[in-house]
Structure 1
Amino acid sequence: MNALEGVNMKQVKQVLSLSALALAILSVEASASGPTIYGSLELALAHTDQGRAINPNPNGNGRDVVVNPESGTFLENNWSYVGFKGVEKLTDDFSVIYQIEVSVQDGNVAGVEDPISSRNTFLGFDTSWGTFTFGRTDTAFYNAEGNVDVFDNTNAWMAQLMPGEDRQSNSVNYVSPSFGSQQFAVSGTVLMNDDNSTSDYPFSVATTLGDPDLQSTLYYVSAAYSKDVEDFKGYRGAAQVRFNDLKLGAIFQNSEHITLRNIDGNMYYVTAQYNLNKLNLDGVNLKAMYGQDQTGLGDYFQGIVALNSNISDVQVEQLTLGANYHASQAAIFYAFWANYKTDYDLNDVAQDVGTENVYTLGLRYYF
């Protein structure tokens, strides 16, 4: 009898993929001159009374319609990842840079089919004229957000109401060096091939001023434009400022679907974060975020209904309150409550979606 008879071949492939990844990382770690290994492991426990805010497609972009949303308590992996990156200096003004980063999903979490998927993975050059990368990267439009999103990489992140948080393959990305002490920079992303778009060369561009970490400068502002990178075109502006232990942020975006002309409008978020520990790395941070979406282009609305020409008067509101506890520089415990209210018309008839509440407890560990 064949030893593999009765074994799910998909599971075998998953085990082989994970084994190959582990061997690659171990071989890199064994090299004294090898690249830097880094990553993040995360697991969260989320309770929802509707089930729409929980990521319905952990292996995709989170925009699948939740056909039968359920209330209950769920485990979430929240984009755990591992990667390695390095620099090979060729001259004083020219270096080769590289990075391989993959998302590692927990097979015990509901909805996960493939344990490994690609994140930022590229080969490029770091020069005195700027940084050029080729491969899969966050777009310039995405990066222009800075650190406005205080619940990033959770079920309450900014993509729930706002499109543009995209990581694209087949992309050429450029980031200029900073000009002057105020860190002014420009960046751009061009997709060489995009099956999701009607445009031959989708692109995004951005300008930034200041430090998004609010360390070397006490402010950050940006402006960006994206054309057909996903299923929309639009522009956004973001701003952050720090007053001692208080950080404030805001982002405004106008977007239009590239084929459904009825799907267009504004969206925004305002955020606040207060450090109770006088800028120490360890301790408690209090966080709040409020946003609105009038388009339906965000992940949350697209989990309710597929976009079509009969949708109008979309109004999605999100309020999130939470706290982080930094047990160390590597380990972060967090808890938050997120509330969603949704209204829209279908064929000019108001739809009763109701209100969703999500309560989440999680642990994130960086290495």
Structure 2
Amino acid sequence: MKKSSIAVALVLGSAVSTVAYAEPLTVYGQLNVSAQSSDEGEGRFSELKSNSSRFGLKGDFALDGGMTLVYQVEWAVDLADVSGGENITSRNQYVGLKGNFGEVRLGRHDTALKDAQGKIDLFSDYEADVKALWRGEVRASNSVTYYTPKFNGFGMHLTYVMEDAADAEDAFSASVYYGDENLKDSDYYAAVSMDSEVAGYDTLRLQTQVKAADFKLGAMFHSQENITTGVEQDGWLVSAAYPVGKTELKAQYQTLEDDDAVSVGVDYKAGKNTTLFAWYSSFNFDVNSPDRDYLAVGIKHKF
């Protein structure tokens, strides 16, 4: 076994063995694998894909003064075609404090702009994830994350990314949101978010999702500027989902200037934590890259 795999196994084993007499601890994860037919311009081929499969540990611990220590350590794992030392990679990993002031997290974390999309992207983790066309999907190392308390449904998420080198620059990400991103406590969600010098780009997004007559309808406007070249690009996305019994039908369209992507899919709830799915995505590029299309069927299980 690779050293990284041994280290993770030791951490998990130690954590689980002490949970009975330590602070509350949750072991969680998601296994998501699909059989996929892909055409990226050089002919069609088949492959297995591990779609951001992951596992992690999270918990909290009561402190003096009404504060709570919070932590999360999460890894991505490839169940399909990557083995050895590259099989396990880091995702959100942080420690922080929560109280009447809100919540502060120190470590590696999704930026405020990335986090603000909520559930609008119906094909997240697949080929048509918004990051396929847009910049801004950043999980920032050396970052400080702050969530304000909610007030009348409004909240803020702020990210400060330290430069980590003498010749680098600090970066910032911010989001103001309203409502419930899961559309459980309310039938609407909206957010305005921006990045400043994050991963070489300045970015602005406006996004909203509503539940109406069983439909979930989402929309996003996106604008990005390359800090080095000054090139500016705009795009937009619309998505829709509709339940039919245990099945959910979904569709999505995304653009960036003259490039676009269209996706359709169906999810079937086979159990409380298990979903069977199928989807088709097609990309049309104006220049520099051949058109692409993908067809997949798979299984997603949460634990």
TM-score w.r.t. the length of structure 2 is 0.93
Matched, 1:269 2:237: yes
Q: Is the Cα–Cα contact under 8 Å of residues 28 and 34 in structure 1 kept in the other structure? A: no
Structure 2: 5+ residue stretches without partners: none
How far does residue 356 in structure 1 lie from its aligned partner after superposition?
1.9
Contact 1:320 1:337 in 2 (8 A): yes
Once residues 11 and 22 of structure 2 are traced to their aligned partners in structure 1, the CA distance between those partners, rounded to angstroms, is 19
- Which residue in 2 is equivalent to 1:286? 249
The secondary structure found in structure 1 opposite 2:291 is strand
Counterpart code for 1:193: E
8 Å contact from structure 2 (residues 23, 59) kept in 1 = no
Partner of 1:337: 280
Q: Which runs of 5+ in 1 are unaligned?
A: 1-10, 52-68, 278-282, 295-314, 345-350
Instruction: Give the direction of change, closer, same or farther, for the CA distance of 1:199–1:241 in structure 2 (3 Å limit).
Output: farther
Give distance in 1, aligned partners of 2:18 and 2:120.
34
Q: Quick check: 1:245–1:276 contact (8 Å CA) kept in 2? A: no
C-alpha distance 338-112 of structure 1, shift in aligned 2 (>3 A) = farther
Check 1:198–1:76 CA distance in 2 against 1; reply closer, same or farther (3 A cut): farther
1:1-367 equivalences in 2 (<5 Å):
12-13=2-3, 15-29=5-19, 31=21, 33-50=23-40, 71-91=44-64, 93-106=66-79, 108-109=80-81, 114-180=86-152, 183-194=153-164, 200-261=169-230, 263-277=231-245, 283-294=246-257, 315-344=258-287, 353-367=289-303
Letter in structure 2 aligned against 1:361: V
CA RMSD of aligned residues (A): 2.2
Percentage of identical aligned residues: 28
CA distance in 1, matches of 2:84, 2:262: 27
Letter in 2 for 1:208: Y
Q: Which amino acid aligns with 2:98?
A: D
Supply the distance in 1 between the matched residues of 2:194 and 2:137 (Cα, whole angstroms): 13
Residues of 1 paired with 2:110 and 2:259: CA distance? 26
Could you say if the C-alpha distance between residues 179 and 198 of structure 1 is closer, same or farther in structure 2, counting changes exceeding 3 Å?
farther
- Describe the shift of the 1:124–1:238 C-alpha distance in structure 2 as closer, same or farther (beyond 3 A): same
Give the greater-gyration-radius structure (CA).
1
* Other structure's SS at 1:193 match: coil
Does the 8 Å CA contact 1:14/1:115 hold for their aligned counterparts? no
Letter paired with 2:27 = I
Question: Could you tell me how far 1:201 is from its partner in structure 2?
Answer: 1.2
- Does the Cα contact within 8 Å between 1:322 and 1:337 map onto a contact in 2? yes
Q: Secondary structure at the residue paired with 2:233?
A: strand
Greater fraction strand? 2
In structure 2, the residue corresponding to 1:120 is in which secondary structure?
Answer: strand
Specify whether residues 238 and 15 from structure 1 end up closer, same or farther in structure 2 by C-alpha distance, changes over 3 A only: closer
Structure 1 residues 238 and 320, CA gap change in structure 2 (3 angstroms): same
Go from structure 1 to structure 2 and tell me whether the alpha carbon gap of 1:214 and 1:268 turns closer, same or farther (over 3 Å shift).
same
8 Å contact kept, 1:211–1:220: yes
